[in-house]
């Protein structure tokens, strides 16, 4: 049985995807060339794993059940930042949005790791470019076009993507919405009166 590589992400709406694509184009114009991740669709990575079909079926069932009790919220991004060691330029969520995203990420990983260990992302961020040289990152940080950003999207679902080894790209597999339901109060029993 062949294993699949699955990536779990939060993906902005179509308007957000187009906005991030415009930021990626801005980097491409700045560099004057193609760069790693310039064509990838906007997303916030949660985790990655290699799974069999029975495992992914089990994971989907667990996520569908647990995401019923998660609530949607707008997440906001206000500035560019870098990870110089990996040559990554990204947009960083506000403190409140980061807390919201981390909580969701931990919940998702907790469910998936009932089935299989994952490569998890510890800090939520939205990558604009990867694999850049440090000098390019430094130049971009001093460029007015990469000083500030005002971006938000409604985070209301989790997206599972499958990696296509031939095309070297991830493609959507399944979107699981947050249900916004109130979890049952298992601690509350029936009231009884002693008379």
Measured over the CA atoms of residue 65, residue 67, residue 71 and residue 72, the dihedral's sign is negative
Residues of the chain by 3-state class (helix, strand, coil), percent to 5 = 35, 30, 35
d(C-alpha 173, C-alpha 160), whole Å: 5
Give the pLDDT of residue 147: 84
**Cα 137 from chain centroid?**
23
Confidence band (pLDDT; 50, 70, 90) for 193?
low
d(C-alpha 48, C-alpha 9), whole Å: 9
Average pLDDT over residues 65-81: 95
pLDDT over 70 at 192, yes or no: no
> Contact 20/43 with Cβ under 8 angstroms?
no
Domain boundaries, the chain: 4-177
Which tens digits make up the pLDDT trace of 146-186? 888 999 999 999 999 999 989 888 999 999 999 999 988 76
Q: Which of 42-56, 101-115, 173-187 has the lowest mean pLDDT?
A: 173-187
Average pLDDT over residues 121-139: 92
Q: What 3-state class would DSSP assign to 61?
A: helix
Confidence band (pLDDT; 50, 70, 90) for 118?
very high
For 24, the token pair is: 């990626």
pLDDT over 80 at 1, yes or no: no
Superfamily of domain 4-177 in CATH is Cyclic phosphodiesterase (3.90.1140.10)
Phi, psi of 186, deg, nearest 5: -70, -20
pLDDT over 70 at 61, yes or no: yes
Average pLDDT over residues 93-99: 97
Q: What 3-state class would DSSP assign to 170?
A: strand
DSSP 65: H
Place of tokens 């790693």: 36
Average pLDDT over residues 60-77: 96
How high does pLDDT run on average in the chain? 91
d(C-alpha 157, C-alpha 179), whole Å: 9
Looking at the chain, list the stretches that DSSP marks H as alpha helix, in order from N- to C-terminal side: 14-31, 53-67, 95-112, 134-141
Q: Cβ of 68: how many Cβ atoms within 10 Å? A: 15
Give the pLDDT of residue 167: 87
Give the pLDDT of residue 145: 83
């Amino acid at each position: 049985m062949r294993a699949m590589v699955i990536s779990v992400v939060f993906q902005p709406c179509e308007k957000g995807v187009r906005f991030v694509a415009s930021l990626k184009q801005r980097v491409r114009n700045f560099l004057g060339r193609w760069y790693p991740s310039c064509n990838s669709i906007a997303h916030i990575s949660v985790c990655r794993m290699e799974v069999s079909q029975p495992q992914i079926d089990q994971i989907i069932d667990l996520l569908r059940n647990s995401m019923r009790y998660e609530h949607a919220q707008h997440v906001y991004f206000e500035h560019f930042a870098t990870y110089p060691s990996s040559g990554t330029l990204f947009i960083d969520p506000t403190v409140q949005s980061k807390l919201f995203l981390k909580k969701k990420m931990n919940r998702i990983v907790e469910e998936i790791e009932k089935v299989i260990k994952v490569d998890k992302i510890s800090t939520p961020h939205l990558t604009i470019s990867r694999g850049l040289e440090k000098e390019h990152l430094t130049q971009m940080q001093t460029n007015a076009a990469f000083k500030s950003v005002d971006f938000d999207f409604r985070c209301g679902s989790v997206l599972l993507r499958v990696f296509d080894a031939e095309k070297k790209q991830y493609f959507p597999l399944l979107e699981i919405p947050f249900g916004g339901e109130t979890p049952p109060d298992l601690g509350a029993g029936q009231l009884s009166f002693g008379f």
